[in-house]
Amino acid sequence: MTAQPIDGTALSTQIRAEVAQRAAALTARGRQPGLAVVLVGDDPASQVYVRNKVKACHDAGVHSVFEKHDATLTEAELLARVAALNADPRIHGILVQMPLPQHINPHKVIEAIATHKDVDGYSVLSAGELMTGLPGFRPCTPYGCMKLIASTGIDLRGKHAVVVGRSNTVGKPMALLLLQANATVTICHSATSDIGHHTRQADVVVVAVGRRNVLRADMVKPGAVVIDVGMNRNDEGKLCGDVDFKSVAQVAGFITPVPGGVGPMTITMLLVNTIEAAERNAG
């Protein structure tokens, strides 16, 4: 392997230590930061995610409220819970775990979260703030990817960055963050005819598709930074990303592993956003 691995676990540990210090400073002023995590239904993956988020809060000294509701909860009942959390002075960030049961409109729920508590950064207003360069909450996964890229020491100004995937939660905000950092950005998606044509020219490639081996060694420019957002299972049932890690690591300059790359950073940036929300609230 020639690429240098980007250790998301180590970077997370470092950022979470800073978060814990900021949380302790707020708590000392009687303003402990608080995050509410709301889960509706029994999706097994969601249960693991929310458990990890609540534990991360606990470890960092952030107050957390975990609300678990049956899948039969109505949309009106969920909106009422969000309204109550919006009004709760101990709560600075609200996260409603997706996906929601079919009978609940996720957009309605996301838009019901007060913008100053939208620590996931998924609302239309938060997306607009990102688009226009205004301060606001950046979606946690792409925000974490930016920290991982920064940790390589590479200056993005004038670099060509290619994002594979255009979801509202990962691909699109990722592209906007890279643009904000003065990279020249290309976005590829399922209708892109030759993804390799674009990625071979890229100094930075971020892959967020949700399919194994979307990026192979012959699609990567030597020395490029490769960030793998994907979470898939390989034939042995083990967690793997979208990048053919073994072969791409022979060509890239830096690469994130799966697990241990983007995954830990997503929760870390949720904590960062929650602390920022609490700090703004405390003045």
> What positions carry a catalytic annotation?
53, 97, 120
Site string for ligand NAP, 156-195 (x = CB under 6 A): --------xxxx-xxx----------------xxxx---x
Q: State yes or no: residue 51 binds ligand NAP (CB under 6 A).
A: no
Task: Please state the closest distance from residue 166 (CB atom) to ligand NAP, in A.
Answer: 4
Tokens standing for 163?
Answer: 């994002």
Task: Please state the closest distance from residue 253 (CB atom) to ligand NAP, in A.
Answer: 21
| DSSP type of residue 165 | -
Whether 13 and 7 have beta carbons less than 8 Å apart is answered as: no
Whether 252 and 280 have beta carbons less than 8 Å apart is answered as: no
d(CA 160, CA 127): 23
Q: State yes or no: residue 9 binds ligand NAP (CB under 6 A).
A: no
Q: Total residues contacting ligand NAP (rule CB under 6 A)?
A: 25
Candidates 83-91, 125-133, 223-231, 271-279: pick the segment binding ligand NAP (CB under 6 A). Answer: 223-231
Q: State yes or no: residue 142 binds ligand NAP (CB under 6 A).
A: no
Whether 110 and 130 have beta carbons less than 8 Å apart is answered as: no
Q: Which is nearer to ligand NAP, 124 or 134 (CB)?
A: 124
Q: What is the dihedral of CA 9, 10, 13, 19, to 10 degrees?
A: -100
Q: State yes or no: residue 257 binds ligand NAP (CB under 6 A).
A: no
Residue 10 belongs to what H/E stretch? helix 8-28
Q: State yes or no: residue 136 binds ligand NAP (CB under 6 A).
A: no
Instruction: Return the amino acid letter for 165.
Output: G
Task: Please state the closest distance from residue 3 (CB atom) to ligand NAP, in A.
Answer: 19
CA nearest neighbour of 254 among 153, 164, 170, 112: 153
Q: State yes or no: residue 229 binds ligand NAP (CB under 6 A).
A: yes
Q: Which is nearer to ligand NAP, 147 or 166 (CB)?
A: 166
Whether 42 and 182 have beta carbons less than 8 Å apart is answered as: no
Question: ∠211-255-49 over CA atoms, to 5°?
Answer: 55
Residues of the shown chain interacting with ligand NAP in the complex, contacts defined by CB under 6 A? 141, 164-167, 169-171, 188-191, 195, 208-211, 214, 229-232, 262-263, 266
